[in-house]
Amino acid sequence: MKDNKKNKYHTEPLPHNDHFFHKLELFQPSARCLAQLADPKIIKGDCTINYVEFAIDFMTDNLRVWKNTVRFFNRHLVHLPGKKRANLTHHHNIEDETVYFSSTKDKKRLVMYNDKPSRKGSLKKCHHLEYRVSGWSEVKEQSIFTIKNLINFDHEQLWDSLLDFRKPN
């Protein structure tokens, strides 16, 4: 759990959920950290995972490759929101090059940015995509019920479903 200084572990009842008395906040946990949490000697009883960020990075040290990657995603990535928000266009925050493809109130949000260096690895240029899933029922829709589900999650399948690349006719 010491992977990231932002990680926190609280042992007080959660508001509106008195039967849950442990709160764990993890930021970019390593495989080792998750494996430790999957050990029943460490986490006893039920747990609820109610927020997950799935991320994929396209990293390089080549400025031209990075610019082409950013240009490609800016021109071709389309996020089709749920039926409730069919007419919502994405919000582009030009100041720090972050693109929000849905409202911050949505339980499932796609975010894209390229103005920050990679957090993983030593390559300098990074184009980052995040799929943020908030809420217990929405996380369950991803078939994540336990820490072991999170460890064994098929990230490739998720991104295959989110990134639908097509050849124009």
Give, in order, the Cα–Cα distances in Å from 45 to each of 20, 21, 28, 127, 146. 10, 11, 23, 39, 11
pLDDT tens, residue order, the chain (169 aa): 567 777 777 777 667 777 766 677 777 788 888 888 788 777 666 677 888 999 998 999 899 999 999 888 888 777 766 665 555 555 555 555 788 877 778 888 888 888 776 666 677 788 999 999 988 889 999 998 888 888 899 999 999 888 876 666 6
pTM assigned to the model: 0.79
Residue with structure tokens 């943020």?
Answer: 132
